[in-house]
Amino acid sequence: MLFVWIVLWVAAGLLLTANRRNPAGRWLSLVAFCGGTGALASVVEGWIAAWLDSGAIDLSGEQVLRSMQRGCSWTSYYGLPFGFLCFGAAYNRDLLPAGIYRWLPYAAIVPPLGMLLLPLNNHYPVQYNWLATWALPYFVLGAVLLLCKAHVHPAERRAHALLLLAVMPAVLIAVAMNYVLPLFGLYRLWVYNVWPIGFAFVIFIFSLFNFGFLGVQLLIEKRQLDYSFRAITSGTAMLNHAIKNDIGKIKLFADKIGREAEGQEGLRADLKVVGTAAAHIEAMIRSVHERTQELRLQPRIVQLSGLVRSQLAAIAAQTAERGIDIREQLDESASAEADPEQTKEAIHNVLQNAIDAMPRGGQLSISVIGGKRGSTIEIRDTGTGIEKAQLRKVTEPFFTTKSGKAMNFGLGLAYCIQLMSRQGGELRISSEPGAGTTVRFHFRAVRRQRGGRR
């Protein structure tokens, strides 16, 4: 059981430290921790037997280790159903009224604490009959909450399926081996938990490095992106200052030479080229600086359909010129707490990318969808699409698939994902070569105070 102990505690540590703001992640971390303490109890039992045989411990040492083993067993048997129920409630909190969700952990902890008052059993770690009266309903309710999660956002369906695949088999087999079969006199079958837990850990690690697991991968990527933006912001600020100073000198001396070059048309033509180049460099560094400076948000409640319409109007001439068919499906009730100007800029960036991906025309579909869990803007094109190897890099600063286009620095999508992260939302991108690209802006639900006012 040493493997199970290490695996579950590693998973618990990752879930807790990598995304501690996520309540569901914290409760699942408790589930993994409690499962790991059960494995630790088995490991301690092996230590006791080995050290007694070798004479390494005396009676008092054995009593200490027995107490430690009993504490680990209690933590596992009592903490696992409690943590699993609270995890289900946090993961599907929309299903529960706010009052029940708030008080559930306090009410659910009463039976586990009550079990500590029962007399000790010298033969078994817990009293299985009493344990089953509340633990089994906890597991059933937790499983129902997980399985009944409704209105899963399309971008989250794969993550939801992977979570169920990792959690449900391991927990249900543990329930059967640890809680149900002992009622019929079948003990120590928990040794077979190693296989489903190993399977769950493989799914967890696979998801962690590919799609994310309860937001853990997203947080890792966010930290890397934040670090990149901090470095870029500092570097471009210094670069902008230095180049602007030198550009000013070039313009000053070019004007001075121009005044002295009366009648020398060749020289004046050369100075015009110098001035044009200086203006181009100045425009380039200004564009980079504007995209990489620290975002200063002024959030307020905005109607997303209005933001989308304003940007569709801005690109109307381009889409008409290229023969791009626009399809709109806008939910007028969809709202979000966001900075309207910055959000319009982000929408414009994605729309412009879609136009650039369809040089010979195509179809551009824009949807605005509102819901209890938040609102979504979906922009879908039928353009060239993005290769899988490039898709994971498109949000990195200065990465671009349009290297031949002037004044394109690969900062548009990096800016978009940074903005959505700062606003508490998400940006999701999916694409297939030849089939087009879909970009989804997902905004969190607007939080309102009692009485319907924010």
pLDDT at 228: 54
Which of 345, 344, 354 lies closest to 402, judged by CA?
354
One domain, residues 85 and 208: yes
> And the tokens for 102?
């708030």
**Which residues sit opposite 335 in a β-bridge?**
303
Global confidence as pTM: 0.57
Enumerate long-range contacts of 387-392, CB under 8 Å, 24 or more apart: 387/433, 391/429, 391/430, 391/431
One domain, residues 44 and 76: yes
pLDDT at 377: 93
Q: What are the helix (H) ranges across 337-424? A: 340-356, 388-391, 412-422
One domain, residues 61 and 109: yes
One domain, residues 394 and 263: no
Which of 178, 173, 197 lies closest to 189, judged by CA?
178
Using CA atoms, how far apart are residues 67 and 49, in angstroms rounded to an integer? Answer: 15
One domain, residues 436 and 389: yes
Number of domains in the chain: 3
Q: Are the CB atoms for 130 and 115 separated by under 8 Å?
A: yes
One domain, residues 249 and 369: no
Residue whose token pair is 């499983």? 143
Instruction: Report strand pairing: 362-369 vs 324-330.
Output: parallel
**Which residues sit opposite 375 in a β-bridge?**
443
Which of 340, 330, 319, 301 lies closest to 383, judged by CA?
319
> And the tokens for 288?
């980079």
One domain, residues 347 and 374: yes
- Of 263, 292, 321, which residue is a domain's last? 292
pLDDT at 110: 94
pLDDT at 404: 47
One domain, residues 246 and 344: no
One domain, residues 26 and 134: yes
Using CA atoms, how far apart are residues 28 and 87, in angstroms rounded to an integer? Answer: 6
- Of 292, 313, 333, which residue is a domain's last? 292
One domain, residues 268 and 231: yes
Which of 108, 178, 103, 139 lies closest to 147, judged by CA?
139
CATH of the domain at 404: 3.30.565.10
| Domain annotation covers residue 454 | no
Residue 232 Cα to chain centre, angstroms = 23
One domain, residues 317 and 419: yes
pLDDT by 10-residue block (mean), the chain, 454 residues: 81 78 86 90 84 81 85 91 93 84 92 88 81 94 88 63 85 90 83 79 72 55 54 57 70 78 76 76 64 69 92 88 91 90 88 88 92 87 83 60 48 77 84 88 73 45
- Of 182, 214, 246, which residue is a domain's last? 214
One domain, residues 135 and 46: yes
DSSP character at residue 188: S
| Domain annotation covers residue 453 | no
| Domain annotation covers residue 123 | yes
Domain span holding position 190: 2-214
